[in-house]
Chains A and B, each alone.
Chain A
């Protein structure tokens, strides 16, 4: 669907994206990165607002720059918080539908349906100037999916949504992904992204740092072995036994005395041999892996 071939782009001497090569297929993919890592630049390249200085960008086989063919199949929810403030939400979405080439009645119908889908049906007739951030975000979503695009790009879509709104949005995204659409979401709220997808695309300082499934990437981070925390009434006894296992790199006892933390590069073997210890009378009350989530993976990958 989307193919980037050694793409670079810079504004003056500020590097936006530097030699990125990747392909993005259907389903939900998360575009992650620090502020200024090049996420917005990449989004603008794919939506054809800017042109790559080197390399090529292909969306559905076409060069997206100022290309109406691509925009017929692409929906974009921009990161800028800007609107035609004097219009109402419904008018704005209807206008966007008309500009997508629908007739007046068809545009009205689609607008009402999209506004309903983002839960703004009762508040869409007020002027945009008075909207809260969450409401503006929903209107932006509505206009992004009004013309049944095959690709939907969302730049910081969760910004300002309340928990209820975010849950509805994630369900909506999953539903759209099930219809075979390609959804690229750039977001900073990692614990939300984790609920959306496991396929990530991590940019750091303009370079592509990691792509693919989160779990696989986590395995590949060998510089940071897996940390596993165990809550037990007798940490020292358990620690003595764990140290004997060859695949346990380190064991550290927490000050509170009720828990210990081990580091291992082979989590599978560790989890597999734990039950034996329990059978030999050692007690494990709690077992968790503090860094088996997107937040830690992100932190490890973008460490200076």
Chain B
């Protein structure tokens, strides 16, 4: 277990950011979801010992968040949401400085900085001043400074924010390769649910200062009754009517039909294709319906 939190309460003046929140964060890659102002960033800061909770407590990597803030921060790498860098330094100096801050001897920090920058895809821009970096490169160097001291837990706050599609893909590949099989646990706090889906195995949804849903993504996405989603080339009312005649319940939204039909998977798909041919509709997509992560999120937030 990477972190276990017991009814954490944090208040900013009169506003209760975390309302006796309890959560068990498993190993591997965990997605931390929640609407704006739900307390995600506050949770991260409390786990790092930035904020002392008004009530409750918890352990991160076996260290107590109330008293061992510094030790936690030595074992954890934080990639903050806002842009941040040390002014006047180029990339290598900046990452090496971050390493020294974490406690690495200076020559080891420098060697490690080169390695981590190479790994984060900033190999050729390593001697450029960070101020001249583009949004994408700034995100990567924030990851590099979080990775330099070899943390066993990586906290990423909106890692793909502001990246262009290719940058986002490369960042997600980076996160996936670090979090799987390298002994580094990762917590990704993000608003981009498809990104979380592509990288994480577990999810914790925080809303109004409480954990309202947590669990493995695969489990959360299953819809009971295994309905089938069919995507057609164009809308075809005859096809829908024919399916209903066969006793199927059909919900049509645009080109996608959600069909519930008795029988085994093979029989259902055979009937669908036969009906399609009879009514002249063209089936372009066929899949077992799953709840989108956004669906899970909406329900968890409304709860």
Q: Do chains A and B touch in the complex (CB under 8 A)?
A: yes
Within 8 A of B (CB), among A140-198: 156, 159-167, 188-191
Q: Which of B2-10, B209-217, B270-278 contacts A (4 or more CB under 8 A)?
A: B270-278
Q: Are A275 and B274 in contact (CB under 8 A)?
A: yes
The yes or no answer to A221 lying at the interface (CB within 8 A) is: no
Take A35-B167, A289-B285 as given contacts and tell me if A159 and B35 are in contact as well, using a CB distance cutoff of 8 Å: no
CB-CB under 8 A from B273, the residues of chain A are 274-275, 278-279, 284
Q: Which of A23-31, A240-248, A295-303 contacts B (4 or more CB under 8 A)?
A: A295-303
The yes or no answer to A283 lying at the interface (CB within 8 A) is: yes
The yes or no answer to B286 lying at the interface (CB within 8 A) is: yes
The yes or no answer to A272 lying at the interface (CB within 8 A) is: yes
- Nearest B residue to A164, CB-CB: B35
The yes or no answer to A124 lying at the interface (CB within 8 A) is: no
In whole Å, how far is B128's beta carbon from the nearest beta carbon of chain A? 15
CB-CB under 8 A from A11, the residues of chain B are none
Count of chain A residues near B, Cβ 8 A: 44
Choose among B276, B286, B301 the residue that contacts A164 (Cβ–Cβ < 8 A).
B301
In whole Å, how far is B33's beta carbon from the nearest beta carbon of chain A? 8
Best-surrounded residue of B37, B273, B288 (most CB of chain A within 10 A) = B273
The yes or no answer to B16 lying at the interface (CB within 8 A) is: no
Take A132-B37, A285-B265 as given contacts and tell me if A161 and B284 are in contact as well, using a CB distance cutoff of 8 Å: no
Q: Are A189 and B192 in contact (CB under 8 A)?
A: yes
Within 8 A of A (CB), among B160-201: 161-169, 191-194
CB-CB under 8 A from B276, the residues of chain A are 275
Best-surrounded residue of B33, B134, B158, B165 (most CB of chain A within 10 A) = B165
Best-surrounded residue of A37, A160, A299 (most CB of chain B within 10 A) = A160
CB-CB under 8 A from B34, the residues of chain A are 162
Within 8 A of A (CB), among B19-37: 33-37
Q: Are A163 and B165 in contact (CB under 8 A)?
A: no
The yes or no answer to A54 lying at the interface (CB within 8 A) is: no
Q: Are B269 and A283 in contact (CB under 8 A)?
A: yes
CB-CB under 8 A from B168, the residues of chain A are 188
Q: Are A35 and B136 in contact (CB under 8 A)?
A: yes
- Nearest B residue to A286, CB-CB: B287
In whole Å, how far is B301's beta carbon from the nearest beta carbon of chain A? 6
The yes or no answer to B262 lying at the interface (CB within 8 A) is: no
CB-CB under 8 A from B136, the residues of chain A are 35
The yes or no answer to B236 lying at the interface (CB within 8 A) is: no
In whole Å, how far is B145's beta carbon from the nearest beta carbon of chain A? 20
CB-CB under 8 A from A35, the residues of chain B are 134-136, 163-164, 167
* A-B contact sample (7 more), CB < 8 A, given A35-B167, A162-B38, A288-B285: A163-B193, A164-B35, A166-B191, A188-B162, A189-B192, A233-B266, A278-B270
A residues near B (Cβ < 8 Å) are 33-37, 132-135, 156, 159-167, 188-191, 233, 267-268, 271-272, 274-276, 278-279, 283-289, 295, 298-299, 302
11 A-B contacts (beta carbon < 8 Å): A134-B36, A160-B161, A163-B191, A163-B297, A164-B35, A190-B165, A267-B284, A279-B277, A284-B269, A289-B284, A298-B165
